[in-house]
Amino acid sequence: MEDTMDQFDVVVIGGGPGGYVAAIRAAQLGFKTACIDEWKNAKGGPAPGGTCTNVGCIPSKALLQSSEHYEHALHHFGDHGITIKGASMDVAKMVARKDAVVKQNNDGILYLFKKNKVTFFHGRGAFAGAAKDGVYQIDVSDPSSTSIAAKQVIIATGSNARALPGVAFDEKLVLSNDGALSIGEAPKKLGVIGAGVIGLEMGSVWRRLGAEVTVLEGLPNFLGAVDEQIAKEAAKLFKKQGFAIHLGVKVGAVKTGKNDVTVEYTTADGKAETATFDKLIVSIGRVPNTTGLNADAAGVKLDERGFIVVDGDCKTSAPNVWAVGDVVRGPMLAHKAEEEGVAVAERMAGQHPHIDFNCIPWVIYTSPEIAWVGQTEQQLKAAGVAYKAGSFPFLANGRARALGSTDGLVKILADAKTDKVLGMHVIGPVASELIAEGVMAMEFGASSEDIARICHAHPTLSEATKEAALAVDKRTLNF
Ligand code: FAD
Ligand code: NAI
């Protein structure tokens, strides 16, 4: 190892939500910290923020917002007495706005690095080998070319889209999340393989802009991880919006033509079908990024699916090497990655943070939104837990009526004996924000009565949460 190398207490490999937040927290705690990220913007410059910022959370929400405005202008403004003649969508402008939002976030992270004195390296980080005298050499390449030394390393290299076997993403006809966020004009016919989070969010964007969307899902149940009542409500609403959702299909050959793509599949009742689409989004889950990291040489073990093996504290098999976010077990969510990144930095500083995986919220940003935390009814039944359920429809909520968004409900599940909140499930307007109350309640071990006794402002959607809590005790006031 060269003596002239820059020496750091902590080097973070990967600048997504797991990595950049870990780097900031480590620097706040007094460690001399560097973060290496290889993402390049269209001009080849640095674009920290990872999948989340560049081709995930942020750009998808930007497009969801634009397309929702358009849908409202076309179909809902009339209810408010607003007439818009000749409303049209400039897809190129919508995509350019999305790119600008992404850039604001990239620049924001570079600013945060400066503010917190995190040294940023633009390039790919790789272990040179095992630690020598307790110090790892990390080589950085493309576009930077240097080597740095680290006492502690956090791997936060994230994930990328899983392709169907033998069907590579060309990002023109067969799209991963990357291509799905940059389609130049709304396809007439859009095929989506996988009725998961990406399929439903991206399907929503392009459906609102006029695409006929067909979703082919391998499993027999729709949104199997979601509370069954909520998933049933979602399926009903999405079908009403025009989504064609086929469950229990087996996808066969996928053939790309000049301007279209044909998918052969077998339906749940065994019928062979063929469908031709202008574009096909393949959203069947994601795989961890570890290629080029040279993890093996450093003694960092991977599991059979390629994830970095970590213990409950995010420690890997190599001394002083930690891993967080999508590249390790657990839900692939930006906020889970962030929590792990912060927790690792704090553990390095001798603190004892704790992450309760049962209190990590999930949100699907469709319309209406779907959000949940904790246990579903089917999980509680399977575990033999005695519970009480209370739900409240937005149809009976004054604010929802004023907004014109009355689809959906809030449901609270509480322990039958202790009344402790075990889960909260929402389908409805801004469910993404409402769920925070359920997370807070569960983190503090609150009972449904606690939520029911808290004063909620009127008129707000959050009153539906209070009413759902009242419903646990069968004493709703407005339904
Ligand atoms: P990533 O964000 O993947 O970041 C890893 C970074 O490391 C990348 O910049 C990568 O280029 C870099 N890297 C990899 N290897 C190296 C190396 N060897 N050297 C240097 N750099 C390297 N989650 C939510 O919570 N909410 C959402 O709304 C949401 N929406 C999503 C929408 C889409 C379309 C997609 C695809 C994902 C979405 N997610 C969402 C998931 C979320 O993006 C991920 O869970 C999150 O980005 C994981 O963070 P991470 O830091 O672990 O990895
Ligand atoms: P996903 O796991 O959400 O859904 C994949 C779906 O594809 C599943 O329903 C699965 O049964 C189905 N599937 C798998 N193989 C198939 C096959 N061969 N044929 C047909 N169906 C098949 O994965 P997705 O949508 O790719 O998203 C990846 C991850 O990114 C999510 O799990 C989530 O963690 C994250 N994400 C989070 C978002 C959010 O928080 N709002 C938004 C988008 C992504």
**Could you read off the pLDDT of 223-275 as tens digits, one per residue?**
999 999 999 999 999 999 999 999 999 999 999 999 999 999 999 999 999 99
- Given a cut of 90, whether residue 105 has pLDDT beyond it is yes
> Rounded to an integer, what distance in angstroms lies between the CA atom of residue 432 and that of residue 86?
32
Nearest CA residue ID for atom 8, ligand 1: 50
Mean pLDDT of all residues belonging to the chain: 97
Name the helix (H) or strand (E) containing 15.
Answer: none
Testing ligand 1's pocket by substitution, the residue of 11, 13, 25, 52 carrying the most ligand atoms inside 8 A of its CB is 52
Query: Which ligand 2 atom is the nearest neighbour of the CA of 364?
Result: 41
Rounded CA separation 188/175 (Å)? 15
- Give residue-wise pLDDT tens across range 29-60: 999 999 999 999 999 999 999 999 999 999 99
60 in contact with ligand 1, CB cutoff 6 A: yes
Nearest CA to ligand 1 atom 34: 56
State mean pLDDT over 350-360. 98
CA of 459 to the centre of ligand 2 (A): 36
Minimum-distance ligand 1 atom for the alpha carbon of 140:
19
Average pLDDT in the 443-465 region?
A: 98
Nearest CA residue ID for atom 33, ligand 2:
332
Question: Ligand 2: which residues within 6 Å by Cβ?
Answer: 164, 193-199, 201, 216-219, 251, 283-286, 331-333, 363-365
**Dist. CA 121–CA 11, nearest whole Å:** 10
Q: Residue 87 Cα, ligand 1 centroid: separation in angstroms?
A: 35
pLDDT in tens, 423-433: 999 999 999 99
Structure confidence by residue, pLDDT tens digits, 302-333: 999 999 999 999 999 999 999 999 999 999 99
Catalytic residue among 122, 335, 456, 458: 458
Q: How many residues does the chain have?
A: 479
- 8 Å CB contact between 187 and 277: yes
Q: What is the average per-residue pLDDT within 17-24?
A: 98
Sorting pLDDT into bands at 50, 70 and 90, what band is 2?
A: low
What is 388-441 written as a DSSP string? Answer: EEEEEEGGG-HHHHHHT----EEEEEEETTT-BEEEEEEEETTHHHHHHHHHHH
Task: Note the pLDDT of residue 4.
Answer: 79
What average pLDDT does range 334-347 have in this prediction? Answer: 98
Residue 51 alpha carbon to ligand 1 centre in Å = 3
Q: How many CA atoms lie within 13 A of 196 on its CB side?
A: 17
CB of 462 closer than 6 angstroms to any ligand 1 atom: no
Calculate how far, in angstroms, residue 188's C-alpha sits from the geometric centre of ligand 1.
Answer: 30
Closest ligand by atom to 225 CA? 2
Are 79 and 404 a contacting pair, CB within 8 Å?
A: yes
Percentage of the residues of the chain whose pLDDT score is greater than 90: 99
User: What is the average pLDDT across 442-450?
Assistant: 98
Alpha-carbon span 205 to 182, nearest angstrom: 11
Ligand nearest to C-alpha 61: 1
Asked if residue 206 has pLDDT above 90, the reply is yes
Closest atom, ligand 1, to C-alpha of 290? 15
Residue 46 CB–ligand 1 contact under 6 Å: no
CA 332 to centroid of ligand 1, rounded, Å? 8
pLDDT at 1 over 80: no
d(CA 424, CA 413): 6
Q: What average pLDDT does this structure show over 345-360?
A: 98
Q: If you take atom 34 of ligand 2, which residue's CA is the nearest one?
A: 332
Per-residue confidence (pLDDT) for residue 3, from 0 to 100: 65
* Mean predicted confidence (pLDDT) in 341-348: 98
- Ligand 1 in reach of 51 Cβ (< 6 A): yes
- Which bound ligand lies closest to the C-alpha atom of 180? 1
Examine the residue annotation and report whether 335 is marked as an active-site residue of this protein. no
Q: Which helix (H) or strand (E) holds 370?
A: strand 369-374
pLDDT in tens, 78-89: 999 999 999 999
Evaluate if residue 362 carries a pLDDT over 90.
yes
Per-residue burial over 416-440, b = 16 or more CB atoms within 10 Å of its CB, e = otherwise? eeebbbbbbbbbbbbbbebbebbbe
State whether residue 345 is helix, strand or coil.
helix
Q: In the chain, what percentage of residues exceed pLDDT 70? A: 99
**Residue range 376-392: mean pLDDT, rounded:** 98
> Which ligand is nearest the CA of 37, by number?
1
Under the banding of pLDDT at 50, 70 and 90, the label for residue 108 is very high
Is 292 touching ligand 1 by the criterion CB < 6 Å? yes
Q: Hey, what's the torsion of the CAs at 207, 211, 214, 215, to 10 degrees?
A: -40
